[in-house]
Structure 1
Amino acid sequence: MPVQTAAHTLRQDADRLASGYPALLAEADRVAALVAAGVHGRRRAGQGESFWQYRPYDVSDPANRIDWRRSGRGDAVFVRDNEWEAANSVYLWRDGGPGMDWRSDKSLPTKRDRASVLSLALASLLMCGGERCAVLGESERPRSGRVGYERLAQRLARSDGDMVNLTGKIPAYAKLLLCSDFLTEPGAWPTKLAALAARPASGVILHIIDPAEESFPFKGRVEFQTPGGWLKPYLMGRAERAKEDYQARFAAHCEWIETSARHLGFTVIRHRTDQPPGPALTALYQAFEGSL
Structure 2
Amino acid sequence: MSGTSAREAEPVAIIAGNGRLPFYVAEAAREAGTPPFIIQLSGETGTDWADFEHMEADLGGFQPVVAALQKRGIRKVVLSGGVRTRPELKSLRPTARLIWSLPVIIRKLRSGGDDKVLRMVIDLFERHGFEIIAAQDIAGDLLATAGTLGAVAPDREDRSDIDAAARAAHVIGSMDIGQGAVSLGGRVVALEGAEGTDQMLARVRAMREAGRISRKRRGVLVKLCKPQQDLRADLPSIGPETVRAAAAAGLGGIAVEAGRALVLDRAEAIAEADGAGLFLLGLEPGMN
Above 0.5 in TM-score? Answer: no
TM-score range, shorter chain: 0.3 to 0.5
In the superposition, the TM-score normalised over structure 1's length comes to 0.35
Q: Based on CA coordinates, which of the two structures has the bigger radius of gyration? A: 1
Larger helix fraction of residues: 1
Q: Which has the higher contact order (CA 8 A, sep 6+)?
A: 1
In the superposition, the TM-score normalised over structure 2's length comes to 0.35
